[in-house]
Each structure stands twice: as C-alpha cells, then as structure tokens.
C-alpha cells in the first residue's frame, strides 16, 4: 500500500483527507504542522504528501523547501492544498517544489485526477 502523509493543522481536515486518501488506497499518516511533517520525513519518506499551505509553527511552503533539501527529499510527490487560487501562489508553490496544486475543498475524484496527472496512480 502506498504511503501518504497528510499535513494540515485542522484535525477535521486531516480526518476528511484521511478518509479520502484511504478510499483511494493509501496508508495515511498525519502531521499537524510543517515541523511535525519534517520530523516524520526525517524518519521515512512517504510516497505522497498532501500539504496545507497555511499552518502554525511551520507553514507548508517552508516545509516543502526544507523537504526538497533533504537527502531523498525530492522523491515524495507533494500536492499543495490551498484555498487560494491566484496564479502567483500556484507559481510560488511549484517553484518551491510542489508536484501539484489543488484547491480546497476537494473530493476524492479530484485528488485521484491529480494523482493520475503526477503519475502516482
């Protein structure tokens, strides 16, 4: 089973995301902010990271940049999830190393579509 790390500061969102990701067939781990996510990735690299942008302690973008600097940090597919849809934001995300960008809220079908685009499915 493919592994997925859901990074979001909202437990509710994590819970929803967990359900979505499990429906698609992922083994889900969770992190509440960028720092936790980074600590997780230091131990093991998930194949997919569903990353929230706006989080306390360490935001998604900072995490993403740090992840990509780590040895083997370029391997996980990272989908940045945000409610912001401005093109400039999308560009910032992709430059920081996001594999895909997804608008919140989303559903399982949308995620699956994105994953197919990244080649993970």
Partner 1 sequence: MDDILVEFLAECEEGVTRLDQELVALEQDPGNLERVAEIFRVMHTIKGTSGFLGLARLERITHAAETVMGAVRDGSLQVTPEIVTLLFKALDRTKLVLEGLAADQREPEGDDGDLIEELERVVRGDGGAASAGAEAKAETPPADGEEAAAEAGAGDEAGATAEADAGDEAGAAAGEAGEETGAAAGEDPGPAEKAAADADGKPVPNPEGAAAASSAGGKKGTPPAKAGSAAKPTASTLRVSVALLESLMSCVSELVLTRNQLVRLAREIGKVELDSAVQRLDNITTALREGVMKARMQPISNAWSGLPRLVRELSAALGKQVELQMEGGSTELDRQLLEYVRDPLTHMVRNAVDHGIETPAERVAAGKPERALLRLSAGQEGGTVVIRISDDGRGLNIEKIGRKAVALGLCTPEELAAMSPQQIAGLIFAPGFSTADQVTNVSGRGVGMDVVRSNVEQIGGSVKVDTKAGQGTTFTVSIPLTLAIVPALIVTAAGHRLALPQLGILEIVRCGDRDERKITTVDGCPILRLRDQFLPVLSMREILGLDRNGEGEDHTGYVLVLEAGDQPYGVLVDGVLDSEEIVVEPIASVLKDLTVFAGATILGDGQVAMVLDLKGLDRRLEARNSKQTATRASEEQAGDEPAKTSLLRFQAGNETLRAVPLALISRIECIEPGRAEHCSGRTVIRFDEELVPLVDIDGNTFGLEADGRLALIFADAGRRFGLLIDKIIDVVETEIRISLRGGPETVLGAAVIGERSTELIDIGCLVESVFGGWFGAGSDAAGDASAPPRRVLLIDDSSFFRALLIPLLENQGCIVRAVDSPKQAIALCEEGKNFDLIVSDIEMPEMDGYAFIAWCRQSRWRDTPVIALTSRTSPADIRKGEELGFDRYLPKLDQGALFRAVEELVGRSETRSLS
What is the nearest approach in angstroms of partner 1 to the Cβ of residue 100? Answer: 17
CB 52 within 8 A of CB 73: no
Shorter beta-carbon distance to partner 1: residue 84 or 121: 84
Closest to 97 measured CA to CA, from 66, 52, 59, 54: 66
Shorter beta-carbon distance to partner 1: residue 31 or 79: 31
Shorter beta-carbon distance to partner 1: residue 39 or 68: 39
Q: Which secondary-structure segment (H or E) carries 2?
A: strand 2-7
What is the nearest approach in angstroms of partner 1 to the Cβ of residue 35? Answer: 8
Q: Which secondary-structure segment (H or E) carries 110?
A: helix 108-118
What is the nearest approach in angstroms of partner 1 to the Cβ of residue 2? Answer: 18
Shorter beta-carbon distance to partner 1: residue 25 or 105: 105
Binding site residues, partner 1, CB under 8 A: 9-16, 18, 30-33, 36, 43-44, 52, 54-57, 83, 104-105
């Amino acid at each position: 089973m493919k592994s997925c790390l859901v990074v979001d500061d909202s437990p509710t969102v994590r819970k929803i995301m967990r359900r979505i990701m499990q429906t698609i067939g992922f083994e889900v781990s969770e992190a509440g902010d960028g720092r936790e996510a980074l600590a997780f990735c230091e131990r093991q690299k998930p194949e997919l990271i569903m990353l929230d942008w706006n989080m306390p302690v360490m935001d998604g973008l900072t995490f993403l940049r740090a992840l990509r600097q780590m040895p083997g940090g370029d391997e996980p597919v990272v989908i940045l999830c945000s409610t912001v849809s401005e093109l400039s934001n999308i560009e910032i995300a992709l430059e920081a190393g996001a594999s895909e960008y997804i608008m919140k809220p989303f559903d399982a079908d949308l995620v699956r579509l994105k994953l197919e685009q990244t080649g993970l499915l």
